[in-house]
């Protein structure tokens, strides 16, 4: 019995004990038929209602190279699953204002992924499937151990994929395993199942999933701590990064677990608390976060919650408005008076960029913001072996690792 099957059986057992036999049978049928696993299929009941799914990409949008699958073929709406229930009239009216025409699926923040890529593991390295469970559910994750790991305490980078992506897809596209071999660090790729979101999108727009020790943040933090328990990890060098919905989730992890993560990397994401439901999620993606209300996430006091942050965002991103990158930087700024330095350049692939670094009094960078000129919704400098990558841009993976590792070791 492999790890995925073990997860399914564990979930079926738990559902049976709770008297939820129909759900348990559904899990077992999927496992026996070899269906792609939906870990914790009861997430929908635990978190209330059907799993939310987001596809902010109406068919009328003229897609650039970054918004298309690597094959260059247009997004086929016929491949989408249809919602089992009609959308509420209020939501239909809201979506009509953005040019959507139901029926459609509100999928993840990035489009359909390519076929499962082949992950090449060098001699002496390991790339394994593991799982984690707590009171909020369970998640599978892939873990890369570089060949240079011999039991010494090394850094850990947690990578959160975008909607429709998988750990293997994200690993191939970002080339983070290659960097792990080069610099000797662990890489974890948590997997969002279809049971939690039909498009494998992290539910960044759900208030429950924006809180410490609740929902998805508790699962991601639990995976991080499990790895730190099982393997030798430097507790002062633990980081989290993500793309799109995963980028938004990475921001949430930096806000809710500043004691766990020393820094975060965000690519094409959104600030924490930018949405509380589907309508506000669409609004945030289209025009940025609205001014916070009295009950929303308030501006943090100096140094109480912020962690060093590096942000990448394409200025032609038609999926998540580039203003969200500005707002992440503003939300992550721990103190006023940081010294800003702006430089402009061209990547080896030809893309131009503007890089702004904000440093403290000692010259240590606290915030770094890369605006990618002409780029859409894709991982800059990524490999075409993965979905939603922009090979011509600066290497976001390498720059994130450089930003993470140039910092002093965070004291536990």
Looking at residue 329, which CATH number applies to its domain?
A: 3.40.50.1820
3-class secondary structure, 233:
strand
Q: Is residue 132 located within the same domain as residue 15?
A: no
In a domain, residue 267? The reply is: yes
What is the predicted pLDDT for the residue at 83? 40
Contact 396, 379 (CB under 8 A): yes
In a domain, residue 411? The reply is: no
In a domain, residue 368? The reply is: yes
Q: Is residue 16 located within the same domain as residue 149?
A: no
In angstroms, what CA-CA distances link 289 with 258, 285, 321, 322?
A: 22, 8, 10, 11
Q: Is residue 33 located within the same domain as residue 135?
A: no
In a domain, residue 174? The reply is: yes
More confident residue, 365 or 7: 365
The average confidence (pLDDT) of the chain is 78
Q: Is residue 19 located within the same domain as residue 131?
A: no
Through-space distance between the first and last CA atoms of the chain, rounded to whole angstroms: 38
**Average confidence (pLDDT) over 160-187:** 96
Residues 319-345: tens digit of each pLDDT: 999 999 999 999 998 877 889 999 999
Q: Which residue blocks in 200-335 are alpha helix, DSSP H? A: 215-230, 245-256, 278-287, 323-332
Q: What is the Cα 232 distance to its own chain's centre?
A: 25
In a domain, residue 275? The reply is: yes
- What distance in Å separates the CA atoms of residue 266 and residue 187, rounded to the nearest whole number? 16
- What distance in Å separates the CA atoms of residue 218 and residue 40, rounded to the nearest whole number? 14
Residues 32-43: tens digit of each pLDDT: 444 333 344 445
In a domain, residue 149? The reply is: yes
**Average confidence (pLDDT) over 93-110:** 36
Residues 219-269: tens digit of each pLDDT: 999 999 999 999 999 999 999 999 999 999 999 999 999 999 999 999 999
Q: What is the DSSP letter of 318?
A: S
Q: Is residue 32 located within the same domain as residue 170?
A: no
Q: Is residue 399 located within the same domain as residue 275?
A: yes
DSSP count for the chain of H helices, then E strands: 11, 12
- What distance in Å separates the CA atoms of residue 37 and residue 138, rounded to the nearest whole number? 12
The pLDDT confidence band at residue 296, using thresholds 50, 70 and 90, is very low
Spatial CA neighbour of 317 closest among 389, 374, 370: 374
In a domain, residue 30? The reply is: yes
Q: Is residue 257 located within the same domain as residue 354?
A: yes
Q: Is residue 22 located within the same domain as residue 142?
A: no
Residue 7 sits in which domain range? 1-37
In a domain, residue 168? The reply is: yes
Residues 183-232: tens digit of each pLDDT: 999 999 999 999 999 889 999 999 999 999 999 999 999 999 999 999 99
Number of domains the chain contains: 2
- What distance in Å separates the CA atoms of residue 97 and residue 94, rounded to the nearest whole number? 6
In angstroms, what CA-CA distances link 200 with 267, 329, 406?
A: 17, 26, 33
């Amino acid at each position: 019995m492999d790890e995925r099957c073990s997860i399914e059986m564990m979930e079926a057992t738990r559902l049976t004990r709770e008297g939820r036999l129909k759900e348990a049978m559904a899990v077992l049928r999927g496992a026996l038929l070899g269906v792609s696993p939906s870990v914790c299929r009861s997430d929908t009941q635990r978190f209330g209602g059907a799993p939310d799914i987001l596809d902010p990409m109406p068919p009328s949008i003229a897609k650039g190279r970054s918004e298309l699958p690597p094959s260059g073929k247009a997004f086929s709406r016929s491949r989408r699953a249809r919602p089992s229930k009609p959308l509420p009239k209020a939501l239909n009216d809201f979506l009509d204002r953005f040019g959507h025409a139901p029926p459609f699926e509100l999928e993840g923040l990035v489009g359909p992924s390519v076929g499962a890529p082949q992950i090449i593991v060098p001699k002496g390295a390991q790339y394994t499937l593991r799982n984690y469970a707590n009171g909020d559910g369970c998640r599978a994750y892939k873990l890369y151990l570089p060949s240079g790991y011999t039991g010494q305490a090394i850094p850990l980078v947690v990578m959160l994929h975008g909607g429709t992506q998988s750990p293997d897809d994200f690993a191939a596209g970002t080339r983070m395993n290659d960097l792990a071999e080069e610099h000797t660090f662990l890489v974890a790729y948590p997997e969002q199942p279809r049971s939690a979101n039909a498009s494998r999108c992290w539910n960044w727009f759900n208030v429950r999933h924006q809180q410490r020790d609740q929902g998805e943040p508790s699962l991601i933090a639990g995976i991080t701590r499990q790895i730190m328990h099982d393997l030798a990890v430097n507790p002062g060098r633990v980081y989290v990064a993500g793309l799109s919905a995963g980028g938004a989730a990475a921001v949430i992890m930096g806000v809710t677990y500043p004691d766990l993560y020393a820094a975060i990397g965000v690519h094409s994401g959104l600030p924490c608390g930018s949405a509380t439901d589907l309508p506000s999620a669409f609004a945030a993606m289209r025009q940025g976060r609205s001014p916070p209300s009295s009950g929303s996430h308030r501006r943090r006091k100096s140094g109480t919650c912020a962690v060093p942050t590096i942000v990448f965002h394409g200025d032609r991103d038609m999926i998540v408005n580039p203003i969200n990158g500005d707002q992440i930087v503003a939300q992550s700024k721990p103190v006023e008076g940081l010294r800003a330095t702006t430089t402009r350049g061209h990547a080896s692939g030809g893309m131009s960029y503007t890089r702004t670094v904000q440093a403290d009094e000692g010259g240590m960078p606290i915030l770094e913001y890369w605006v990618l000129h002409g780029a859409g919704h894709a991982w800059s400098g990524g490999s075409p072996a993965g979905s939603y990558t922009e090979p011509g841009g600066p290497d976001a993976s390498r720059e994130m690792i450089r930003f993470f590792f140039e910092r002093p070791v965070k004291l536990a």
